[in-house]
Structure 1
Amino acid sequence: MTPSPDPSDRRGRWSDLDRPPLNATGLRRALVRPGGLWTSLDVVQHTGSTNTDLAAAAGPEGAVLVAEEQSAGRGRLDRTWSAPARSGLFFSVRLTPGPGVPVGRWGWLPLLAGVATATALSRAAGVDTALKWPNDLLVTVDGQERKAGGILAERAGDSVVVGIGLNVSLRAAELPVPTAGSLALAGAAVLDRDPLLRAVLRSLEDWYLRWRDAGGDPGPSRLAEAYAAGCATLGRTVRAELPGDRALVGEAVAVDGDGRLVLATGDGVQEPVGAGDIVHLRPASSGPAEASAPSEE
C-alpha cells in the first residue's frame, strides 16, 4: 500500500525517495539523554525559520528544532534563501552559556559551530570542510571552493540560538547560484541525513561543553587552535566592506580573543573587525557584484 501523503508537506512525504524524511524518534533516542546537553529534539515538516521559531519559544538550554523545509531561512543581515524539501540539514539549537562565560566571548559561538560541523563532516561524510570567517562552510567541487552551508547566531534573552543550514543532496541543477555547493557535489561518502545530523550535534555538544567549561576562553578549550587550522580566510588578502560605504583591505592574520578577524593593512596597522560590522568579506581581487551561495540558516 502506498503511504498517504503528509498534509503538512505540499509535495508529499514520499515524493522524492532519494530524500527520505528524518527519523525523529531515532534521533531523539540517540541524542537526548539524562546529563547530556540536548534536552529535546523536534522535527517539523515545514516552517519559515527554525531560528525564529526557537527564539520565540521559551525553553531550557539544549532544545533542538529541525525543519525538513524552510520558506524563510535567514542568514546574516537578514539575507534569505530556500532549498528543496529534505535536500539538506536545517536546524537550530538553544545554548545558554551562563554567568561563567563573559558575554564578550559569546561571539565565538558561530565559530565554534563551524568547527564542530566541519569536524563532524570530515569524520561522518569524508568531506574536507573549510571555514570562511565568520559563518560560511566551504567544500571543494571541481577544484573550487564552494559555499555549502552557513551559520547564524542570534541573542534570545540569556540564550543564543544557533542555526545551521547545510546543503546535503542538492544537485547541480538545483543550486541557487553557480558558486554554491553541496556534500553530494563534493563527493561525500554519506548523504543519509540522520547519521550526519547525529554527528554534527554530538560534535557541537563536545566543543560547546569544552568551551563553556573553560569560561569561554578559546585558548584552553583549543577552539582558537582548531578554528585557525580550518579557516580558509586566514593568510589571504581580503576586502572587508563595512557600513557607510567604508572598506578595509588587508591580510587576514588572526582571530582575536573575542572572535574578531584581525586584518593587517598596507600601512602596518592591525585592525580587528567583528562579524556584526561586516557587510561582505571577499578576496581583495573580487568585484562588488560577487555572488554568494545563500546557504545559511
Structure 2
Amino acid sequence: MNATTDAPRAALDARILAATTERLGISPVQVVHSTGSTNADLIDAIVRGQAAHLSSLTCEYQSAGKGRLEREWQVPEGAALTVSIAINPNPALPIPALSWYTMLAALAWCQAIETQTDLTASVKWPNDVLLGSRKVCGILAQLASSTTGPALVVGTGMNVDQERAELPVATATSLRLASGQRISRSELLASYLSAFHGLDAAFRAVAGDAGAGLAAYGGKSLRELVAAKLATLGHWVRIEYPDGTSLEAQALNVAADGALEVQDAQGGQHRVLAGDVQHVRRSDGQYA
C-alpha cells in the first residue's frame, strides 16, 4: 500500500494480473480501456462460446454499467475496479447452486480487502460489501446461455480511489477514504481473483452444496462462511417489495438456498429471496 498522494491514478498492471491467472491456471484477465458494461460484454462472449469457466473482463472506465434493479453505476476513470467473471456450472454444479455466487463474490471481496488493507469488510445481504455501515462494492449476477447450457456472469464494482465528492451517495465509501491510503487496484484485483478461485474450487468440490464443509476452509461450509460476514444478521430490517408492501422483521440466518430467514414481531417466520424484494434496509436507518 502507498500513502495517499496527488499522483495520477495508475492504470491496471497487466503483468500482475497475468502472473496471478497463470498461477491459478485460469484464462488471462481481459483488460480493456473502456466499455459500456463488462457484464454485457462477457455475456456476449459466453453466448458466442468464447468464455471459459472463470474467464474475466475488467476495464478502466465503464460508461453504461448497471447494478441491481437497473440502477446506473459510473465512476471516474481509474478510480474503481469493475470486473466480471464467467461461471460455467457444467458438470460440477447443479443450476440452483448458482444462486450462491453473488455472496461467494462478496466473500471473496472481503478476503481481498483484508489481504490488501488493515480494514475489516462485511456483507450486506444480498449483494453489497460494506466497510462499517458504508457500501464499498456492489455485485450483480446475470444468467447467460452458453453453448453447453446455462451459465452465469458475476459483475462487481469496487470503490477503490474515489474522494468523497466522487461518490454517488452519502452511504458509500471507497478504500482510499476508509484506509487513508492509496490502494493498488492491480494487487487488489489479483487478490480478488485468487479468493474467488479458491472459494469456487472448494464449492465445486462439494457439488455446490452450501451446507457441506469445505476442506480448504477448516471444514466450514460456504453458508457458514457467508453468515459469519453478514452484517445484516441480528438486526431488525425493513423489507420492501416491488408491489409497495413491506415487512419489518429481525434477520436471523441465511438459508441453504441463500434466502434470508427473518422473524417478525409476532414471531412469524419468513423467507426472503433476493429476486423477490426491492430493498432490505436496517430499521434503525443504518445502511448495513
Matching of residue 195 in structure 1 with residue 187 in structure 2: yes
Counterpart residue number, 2:141: 153
Structure 1 match to 2:89: 97
Segment of structure 1 superposing worse, 190-199 or 161-170: 190-199
Q: Is structure 2 residue 40 aligned with structure 1 residue 52?
A: yes
* Residues 143-199 of structure 1: CA deviation (Å, up to 9, x unaligned): xx1111111111112211001110001011212122210001111656011111100
Question: Aligned with 2:109: secondary structure?
Answer: helix
Which residue in the other structure is 1:223 paired with? 222
Q: Match for residue 77 of structure 1?
A: 69
CA contact (8 A) 2:254 2:261 kept: yes
Aligned-partner Cα distance in 2 for 1:172–1:238: 27
Q: Secondary structure in 2 aligned to 1:130?
A: strand
Question: What fraction of aligned residue pairs are identical, expressed as a percent?
Answer: 39
Q: How does 1:241-252 map to 2 (within 5 A)?
A: 241-252=240-251
Q: SS state of the match for residue 176, structure 2? A: coil
Quick check: 1:107 aligned with 2:99? yes
Say which of 159, 169, 174 aligns to 2:161.
169
Distance between the aligned counterparts of 2:8 and 2:224, measured in 1?
A: 38
Deviation track 1:59-84 (CA, whole Å, cap 9, x = no partner) reads: 22121100101111111111111100
| Mapped partners of 1:61, 1:46: distance in 2 | 23
Q: 3-state SS of the aligned residue for 1:45?
A: strand
- In 1, Cα distance between equivalents of 2:276 and 2:243: 11
Unaligned runs of 5+ in 2: 1-5, 215-220
Q: Quote the residue 2:127 is aligned against.
A: 135
Identify the match of residue 22 of structure 1 among 4, 12, 29: 12
The amino acid that maps onto 1:24 is A
1:210 matched to 2:202? The reply is yes
**2:92 alignment partner, SS class:** coil
Distance, in Å, in 2 between the alignment partners of 1:61 and 1:40 is 11
Report the AA paired with residue 281 of structure 2: R
Distance 1:151 1:258 in 2: 18
Confirm or deny: 8 A CA contact 1:238 1:283 kept in the other structure: yes
- What CA deviation, in whole Å up to 9, does each residue of 1:36-60 have, x standing for no partner? 2x21311111111100110011322
* Whole-angstrom distance in 2 between the partners of 1:123 and 1:209: 19
Q: Are the counterparts in 2 of residues 116 and 200 from structure 1 also a CA contact under 8 Å?
A: yes
State how many pairs are aligned. Answer: 268
Mark the CA change 1:26 to 1:119 in structure 2 (over 3 Å): closer, same or farther.
closer
Question: Structure 1: which amino acid aligns with 2:27?
Answer: T
Q: Determine if contact 2:241/2:277 at 8 Å carries over to the other structure.
A: yes
Shift of 1:17: 4.0
The question of whether the paired residues in 2 share the 8 Å contact of 1:48 and 1:71 is answered with yes
Cα RMSD for the two superposed structures: 1.9
Normalised TM-score (structure 2):
0.88
Question: In structure 2, what is the Cα distance between the partners aligned to 1:276 and 1:154?
Answer: 12
Output aligned runs, 1:246-285, within 5 Å. Answer: 246-285=245-284
Instruction: Report the AA paired with residue 267 of structure 2.
Output: G
Q: Say if 1:168 and 1:193, in contact at 8 Å, map to a contact too.
A: yes
Q: 1: CA distance between counterparts of 2:28 and 2:184? A: 22
Task: Provide the rounded CA distance (Å) in 1 between the counterparts of 2:139 and 2:180.
Answer: 20
Counterparts of 1:182 and 1:273 in 2: how far apart (Å)? 29
Question: In structure 1, what is the equivalent of residue 218 of structure 2?
Answer: none
What do residues 79-103 of structure 1 show as CA deviations (whole Å, max 9, x unaligned)? 1111000001100010112243222
CA distance in 1, matches of 2:12, 2:117: 17
